[in-house]
Structure 1
Amino acid sequence: MGKSKGARIIITLECSCRNIPNLDKRRSGIFRYTSTKNRRNTPNRMELKKYCRQCNGHTTFKEIK
């Protein structure tokens, strides 16, 4: 089976807290989620509010790459 040319693609969502310097985090590193989206319905980059373990709260996650 080859790659399908469907409309659904896998995306990576990254927490926006990585841009804030000197944030007191519980752990070092960047927290990310993976999800899927339909590129025909949502051609632009997605932004979702999700729980971040580093921030210990709900923050905005932005689509990368």
Structure 2
Amino acid sequence: MAKNKGARIVITLECTQCRTIPASSKRSLGCFRYTSTKNRRNTTNRLEIRKFCPNCNSHSVFKEIK
């Protein structure tokens, strides 16, 4: 049988700049996403992490999405 649901959950981080870039950008279209885990007991708020986005070709803020 499966174990109880633990404190760590899988989350999806999405680039905030890719959504605001117009379609005539020099890089590919779409928004880039990372997957990670977080401890839901210690971090109850949504995460915001600054990571590299290959679509924007720069470091930008990634926010946790549902």
Q: Same fold (TM over 0.5)?
A: yes
What CA deviation, in whole Å up to 9, does each residue of 1:37-56 have, x standing for no partner?
Answer: 00000001000000000110
How many residues get paired? 65
Higher helix share: 1
SS in 2 for 1:60: strand
Q: How does 1:1-65 map to 2 (within 5 A)?
A: 1-2=1-2, 4-22=4-22, 24-65=25-66
Q: CA RMSD in A?
A: 1.6
Provide runs of 4+ in structure 1 moved above 6 Å.
none
TM-score of the superposition, structure 1-length normalised? 0.88
Structure-2 change in CA distance of 1:25 and 1:62 (3 Å): farther
Q: Which runs of 5+ in 1 are unaligned?
A: none
Amino acid at match of 1:54: N
What CA deviation, in whole Å up to 9, does each residue of 1:1-58 have, x standing for no partner?
Answer: 4253110000000000133141624111110000000000000100000000011000
